[in-house]
Structure 1
Amino acid sequence: AKLAGLERVPAVIREATDAESLELALVENLLREDLNPMEEAEAYQRLLAEFGWTQEELAGRVGKDRSSIANCLRLLKLPAVIQDDLRAGRLTMGHARALLSLTSAADQLKLREEILAHSWSVRTTEEGVQRSHVPRRAARRSAELTALEDQLRERLATRVRLVGSERRGRIEIVYASRDELERLVEQILGSPLKP
């Protein structure tokens, strides 16, 4: 008050139980601007555990969206070393959100190494996450559809390519001449191509 040049400070004095005092202290602590994402997540977790609130109730008490609370709490699922990076400011909430889209801790830790080694931005991290998803899809596709592609190629005696996934896609059959087209149509339909 003296630094602000005030002789009096408006205040409300009220009696509070130990539980109410704890609630007020934790909520006040959350409203500080200098909390790192892990401190915030841990404070949310403590409030939920201590008072049995839902995320919706907690959101109302601290003036945030429920989805913001839920996203912050997800940080507690990250490997400890990544949580330490968030505490120390080596990684941001944006980096952590991107890492959370990877399902395995091993993948998260591998990408963390890249982020720190190359000082990746959040956008670059998101691109790294996308790249790490692509090989898995391709590997799954090739494991399931390559054999079928080979069978079709052998049966039709021409180049065949399956494009897409198990659920949806297209079959590309390549022919090099009109004669080959007619042969393929007859083989597939069981009757010659009509002029």
Structure 2
Amino acid sequence: MKKRLGRGLDALFGEGVVSTDKNLDIEESKKEDIERIEEIDIDLIDLSENQPRKIFNEEDIEELADSIKSVGLIQPLVVQKKGDKYILIAGERRLRACKIAGVQKVKCIVKEFENPLEIALIENIQRKDLNPFEKALAFKRLMDEFGYTQEQLSKRLGISRSKVANTLRILNLGKKIIDLIIEGKISEGHAKVLLSIVDEDQREKLAQLVVEKNMSVRELESIIKSNDEKKEFEVESEVIREIEENLMKLFGLKVRIQKKRNRGKIEIEFSSDEELEKIISILMP
């Protein structure tokens, strides 16, 4: 029977995990879905080629390694048996730290998964330290390789459909901005605001400004709003200049339009009675 992960690590470490103790209850061992905890030689554990997370904070791993040296590995890794070796499903950061700490055997939950890639993707998505770009890639892989729609994926992960859609849009950002996201210089909030900019060059300039000025998401929104208002004013000014030129051709006189918000006035200059009569004749034929 196909079993799928519904609650991330809760499902991985939930019911069915049993000890390898010799006094294991016989009836418990007859359950259909039994997981076991084993001490496994660290050299027998291979990383999955499909690991969604690509970026690791080396400083954090060093700190975790120090902790493991002091108190040991508290949370087991999750692996799947493959021949004489094991494939890591969850816990690459912990595995890396164990290697740095010089640990020879690590505690692991050994379990069979029908779709280990799907499990690894969902488990990583639910972890807070996955960067926005990696999260977007994981979403896309789940949709491409397991046939999820955005609606199905949102239900599967327990998030809104708009959250799924907005995260996937991050993949549309240019390489320069994606690199800034991967480096942690731009947050997911910044990325979503930048997506409102159509012009790619302008988007990259704003992204660089965010980094240089250490701008918050709200400050970035304010700048974009200000730029939009400026563009709107420039477009309106261009329209008004065009109208002035057409009126000057019509009257053969200097015309000026003054406008503020929804109010304003049109001034037509004349320097003789003849020019005034010409204006009147045009306005009141």
> 1:17 and 1:32 mapped to 2: Cα distance?
20
Name the structure with the higher strand share: 2
- Higher-Rg structure is 2
Cα displacement (A) at 1:139:
4.7
Return closer, same or farther for 1:138/1:152 CA change in 2, 3 Å cut-off. Answer: same
Q: Which residue of structure 2 lines up, in the alignment, with residue 159 of structure 1?
A: 255
Contact 1:175/1:181 (<8 A) preserved: no
Q: 1:74 aligns with which of 169, 186, 202?
A: 169
Taking the TM superposition and a 5 Å limit, the aligned residue runs for 1:111-150 are 111-143=206-238, 145-150=240-245
SS at match of 2:185: coil
Q: Which residue of structure 2 lines up, in the alignment, with residue 44 of structure 1?
A: 139
Q: Which residue of structure 2 lines up, in the alignment, with residue 11 of structure 1?
A: 15
2:178 matches 1:83:
yes
Q: 1:82-114: per-residue Cα shift (whole Å, max 9, x none)? A: 112112211111211111111122111111121
Q: Which residue of structure 2 lines up, in the alignment, with residue 173 of structure 1?
A: 266
Name the structure with the higher helix share: 1
Q: Which residue of structure 2 lines up, in the alignment, with residue 30 of structure 1?
A: 125
Q: Which residue of structure 1 lines up, in the alignment, with residue 189 of structure 2?
A: 94
**Length, aligned pairs only:** 176
- Give unmatched runs, 5+ long, in structure 1: 1-8, 191-195
The amino acid across from 1:38 in the alignment is: F
SS at match of 2:265: strand
The TM-score, its normalising length taken from structure 2, stands at 0.52
Cα displacement (A) at 1:42:
0.9
Contact 2:257/2:266 (<8 A) preserved: yes
- Give unmatched runs, 5+ long, in structure 2: 1-12, 17-32, 35-110
> 2:138 and 2:257 mapped to 1: Cα distance?
54
Greater relative contact order (CA < 8 Å, ≥ 6 in sequence): 2
Identity of aligned residues (%): 33
The amino acid across from 2:266 in the alignment is: I
SS at match of 1:161: strand
Q: 1:119-177: per-residue Cα shift (whole Å, max 9, x none)? A: 1111111122223334544454455552332121443445342859xxxx78732379x
After superposing on structure 2, the runs of 4+ consecutive aligned residues of structure 1 that deviate more than 6 Å are 179-183
Cα displacement (A) at 1:76:
0.4
Q: How large is the Cα RMSD of the aligned pairs?
A: 3.4
Contact 1:149/1:162 (<8 A) preserved: no
